[in-house]
């Protein structure tokens, strides 16, 4: 065992690939516990934090939200009958992921077709822009009370943040 008893935040950051500000953020929002501090106020972490943070990062990489992870961690912490409940969380999330894939596939198809028409466009107008202006065979909504933005995809499909 060559692991030291306490790790500084920078070491934890390196070991998990999670940046320092994010670690402090996870503490603020309650995913990581409030740690012991050194005499001068530095956070001190142990291997349990390393494991927990790894868990969090993996779950995030699988697309779980912070809230879902909070639930999962609570279940893991309780260590009683967590399996069924954890499965519910994961299954719901799986459905979300599948819905998202379906939406993105629809986007992909329209984009691909439009870009293709753009590529061999000999006319004066840009087919891409025409498509967006005139609509790709989709009419603007007629019923105002319909809750969904039925252009191509459900209303709640928003692009993920791309910095």
Partner DNA sequence: ATAGAGTCTGTAGTAACTACAGACTCAAGG
Partner DNA sequence: CCTTGAGTCTGTAGTTACTACAGACTCTAT
Instruction: Specify the DSSP class assigned to residue 36.
Output: E
CA dist., res. 103 & res. 9, Å (int): 39
Rounded to the nearest 5 degrees, what angle is found at the Cα of 108, between the Cα atoms of 102 and 113? 135
For CA atoms 42, 43, 47, 51, the dihedral sign is negative
Looking at the chain, the number of H-run helices and the number of E-run strands are 6, 2
2 or 40, CB closer to a second copy? 2
- Which of 36, 51, 65, 134 binds DNA (CB under 7 A)? It is 65
C-beta closer to a second copy: residue 41 or 140: 140
Distance CA 82, CA 86 (A): 6
Q: Does 82 bind a second copy (CB under 8 A)?
A: yes
Residues engaged in binding DNA (CB under 7 A): 8-11, 13, 19-22, 24-25, 37-43, 60, 65-67, 158-159, 161, 163
Residues engaged in binding a second copy (CB under 8 A): 14-17, 51, 54-55, 57-65, 72, 75-76, 82-83, 86-87, 90-91, 93-94, 96-98, 100-101, 104-105, 107-108, 110-112, 114-115, 118-119, 121, 125-129, 132-133, 135-136, 138, 140-141, 144, 146, 149, 151-153, 156-163
């Amino acid at each position: 065992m060559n692991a030291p008893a306490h790790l500084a935040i920078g070491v934890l950051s390196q070991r998990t690939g999670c940046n320092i500000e994010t670690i402090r953020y996870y503490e603020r929002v309650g995913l990581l516990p409030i740690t012991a501090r050194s005499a001068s106020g530095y956070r001190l972490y142990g291997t349990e934090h390393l494991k927990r943070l790894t868990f969090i990062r993996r779950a995030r990489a699988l697309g779980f939200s912070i809230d879902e992870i909070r639930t999962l961690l609570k279940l893991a912490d309780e260590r009683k009958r967590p399996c069924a409940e954890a499965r519910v969380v994961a299954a719901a999330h799986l459905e979300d992921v599948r819905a998202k894939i379906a939406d993105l596939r629809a986007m992909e198809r329209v984009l691909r077709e439009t870009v293709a028409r753009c590529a061999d466009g000999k006319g004066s107008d840009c087919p891409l822009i025409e498509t967006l202006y005139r609509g790709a065979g989709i009419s603007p909504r007629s019923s105002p009370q319909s809750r969904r933005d039925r252009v191509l995809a459900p209303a709640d499909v928003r692009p993920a943040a791309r910095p």
